[in-house]
Amino acid sequence: MRKKIAAANWKMNLRQEQGEQLLTAILQKNISLKPHQFAIFAVPFPYLPMASEKISGKINYSVAAQNCYHKSAGAFTGEVSAEMLSSLNIPYVVLGHSERREYFGETNAMLAEKVNLTLSNGLQPVFCCGEPLFIREENGQNDYVEKQLREGLFHLDNAQIRKIIIAYEPIWAIGTGKTASAAQAQEMHAHLRSVMAGKYGHEIADDLSVLYGGSVKGSNASEIFSQPDVDGGLVGGASLNAEEFCQIISALP
């Protein structure tokens, strides 16, 4: 069975004491996860040690970094390397989030470098992809996202690709007033899986977890997660509310 994942992306939010309070409130719910279910907290860099300590001993609860640099080391003031994250025993790292692509100019080639560095340092990438509004309006979303996968991931061998988690973000439905339906999420997730199957075969593609990153909330998580090719969510705003995120975790199939 594929891993089903509720991944919280705190982005650049919360003071440390607020983050501690949020994690405490979520963990106090004592949501028991099945062997195939995982809750992952992508917290800002300064909070990684705190979050790791808070979830210590909790089965299938993990921590992720929100990014890393695309070079292994050097004179890159202010950046954080995959090796640094590995030295903190961080198991996951989010790569290629739409905000990183849009605001910081991250390219598919840069992300391919990041993927290589994270894998070589024992981290598991959560690789983000997704199309903006103008691409969706031109009905070019399939080709656009396929290009992101090809240029960011297709250099990997079969063993490496099995370690990748994919997160699809319909950028056109985030903060635009437009809404992506569960059916639209399923349609794109099925396409992503077919693209991966074309490169790596159906057995590997069927084992890949593909998360949905389009405004998942407690009220719509069950419907979205019930889609056959949706394996959970990469959750932004709703992950900053303990009650809301607990509903999302509990909605994992």
Catalytic residue chosen out of the listed positions 99, 106, 131, 169: 169
Ramachandran category for residue 127: left, alpha or beta (phi over 0 → left; psi -120 to 50 → alpha): beta
Q: Phi then psi for 191, rounded to 5 degrees?
A: -65, -45
Closest by Cα among 186, 184, 192 to 227? 186
In the annotation, is 244 catalytic?
no
Mean pLDDT of 203-226: 95
Taking a C-beta distance cutoff of 8 angstroms, is the pair 199, 164 a contact?
no
Catalytic residue chosen out of the listed positions 97, 106, 131, 189: 97
Task: Report pLDDT digits (tens) over 32-67.
Answer: 999 999 999 999 999 999 999 999 999 999 999 999
Q: How far apart are the C-alpha atoms of 82 and 142, rounded to whole Å?
A: 30
Predicted confidence (pLDDT) at residue 18 exceeds the cutoff of 70: yes
Q: Could you give the percent of the chain with pLDDT greater than 70?
A: 98
pLDDT of residue 120: 98
- Neighbour tally for 190: CB within 10 Å: 15
Length of the chain: 253
In the annotation, is 169 catalytic?
yes
pLDDT of residue 49: 98
- Which ranges of 28-140 does DSSP label H, i.e. alpha helix? 48-55, 82-87, 98-104, 108-120, 133-137
pLDDT of residue 1: 85
Task: Report pLDDT digits (tens) over 132-182.
Answer: 989 999 999 999 999 999 999 999 999 999 999 999 999 988 766 666 789
Task: Report pLDDT digits (tens) over 82-120.
Answer: 999 999 999 999 999 999 999 999 999 999 999 999 999
- Whole-number mean pLDDT of the chain? 96
